[in-house]
Structure 1
Amino acid sequence: MPTDHRPVHKNPLNQAAARSFYALTGSLPLIRWLAPGAALLFITSCGGGPTSSVIETPQTRGLKGWEKPYIVAGQRYDPLRQHEGYVEEGIASWYGRDFHGRKTSNGEIYDMHAMTAAHKTLPLGIFVKVRHLGNGREIVVRLNDRGPFVKGRVIDLSYSAARRLGIDDAGTGPVRIEALGYREKGNGGAPVYRPPASYVVGSYAVQVGAFEAPVNAHRLAAEMRDRFGAATVSEGWAGGRRFHRVWVGRFDTLEAAEIARLRLERNGYPSSFVVALE
């Protein structure tokens, strides 16, 4: 492996903030209203760099750290609870010696020589098939980390995985990834894959804004009702201050709410996010 090869996180802010957010120490708590009872916990990286954060709500209690929504460099990510049919194309990258021996997002020790990888939202612990769209090579890796937090990149491979796929020298390559599931031994010892738990049915909305002045919140809610059919204003407190939050829609599954959030994002509301309702 080239000693000076660092192809993965070229943005040092993303690099320091993103890797192993679940295992980081030296936390600095800060409350920001996201949902009923929600808190945003900012965690300072071990290297003293910028922060990543995990979103805490009553609905996320009991979940593992890597299963909870989180924010890196201002971007919110909502880990999936299921993977069936998940296929994605984009750029694969890899990370190696700089992170070798450090904790990954699920608490394991990163081994650059193991066949593992990082993904921003797929369930950790599942296996995914990665196919290089240029040379046709295929590998299967187990997800144990979060990333890559660079635009256009869809998976971060270990050094060994990158070498087998043929991107260790170039640093990146075009790939298609397919989620397989948790690996188990089938009849005859051949591996089979089972899915993780499906989406939890609940009640969700999409928050598009929060204002101290109620008139601003009600103005935006009226606009949302005209454009999207349903919107409400909900009051909440954070840091001793009252906020009026604008929520769009009411959805029975997280998946449906996420589809609505993407629609709102495409229609000029890039900072919108899903909230769980009581």
Structure 2
Amino acid sequence: MNKLHKLASLALISTVIVGCSSSPSEPEKTPTPTEPTTPPISESDRYQAERYDIKEDLAPKEPMSVEHIDEIVPQYEPYSLGGTKNYTVRGQRYQIIKDPKGFKEKGQASWYGKKFHGHLTSIGEVYDMYSMSAAHKELPLPSYVKVTNTDNGKSTIVRVNDRGPFHPGRIIDLSYAAATKLDVIHTGTANVEIEVITPEKPQSEHQQKTLPKYQIQVASSPHKDRVETLAQDLSQKLSVPSFVGSDQEIHRVLLGPFDDYNLTQNALEQVKLLGYSSAFIRKN
């Protein structure tokens, strides 16, 4: 491979969109008669192989208890710019659903965990396997979805902020926490039905003030000392109250509470500017 070809390959790798199961990318280049007849490893596969420290996905060493997993309360969020763009994976074009209100779908759910923990999702947020999140191929990001495991009747709500799963028959990839909540961890996959929840945008100051108080969850970790340090640091930098919410082995950095939704949104934007792109708003 000559120098020009190497530079072109590196440029292509840098444009790959990040995803949970397979990164959205442009179709592979068709070999010309002067190139080797043996199909090369795709740039997408090479990128994935180099990007993750763990080759095969797995759960944390210690099982997670479902009792302390918080339910997400859907909040109005504008869609991200990248979360509304059509894209291509493995030669297949995916069209984003423009109006997902009332959208329902049945199929199989899978889950993803430690291999992807701490890496970026498709819209640039940090994947946290202990958060109630998920990946979907065609919903605008972020979206809120009610997921029901039709094998056992259990249901929960997740925030969709990633792309995938790119496997036949699978319609949603659950975070480790969400999969634990629905008892999908041991089975690996489960039959599910999903339904999009579309929160209404607050229209007036009066409506915003009548809503419950809000908190911002910044991060979660099993290391309490690190979480406490981060909570103090953010409180000083942003001049907002902070505290640590602990449930068994998991500790969360929480900011607030806030009475006004707009103020909460402003604080969330500041938090994300500091690098905590997976932070989200939740009700008290």
**TM-score by structure 2 length?**
0.46
TM-score by length of 1: 0.47
- Structure in which a larger fraction of residues adopt strand: 1
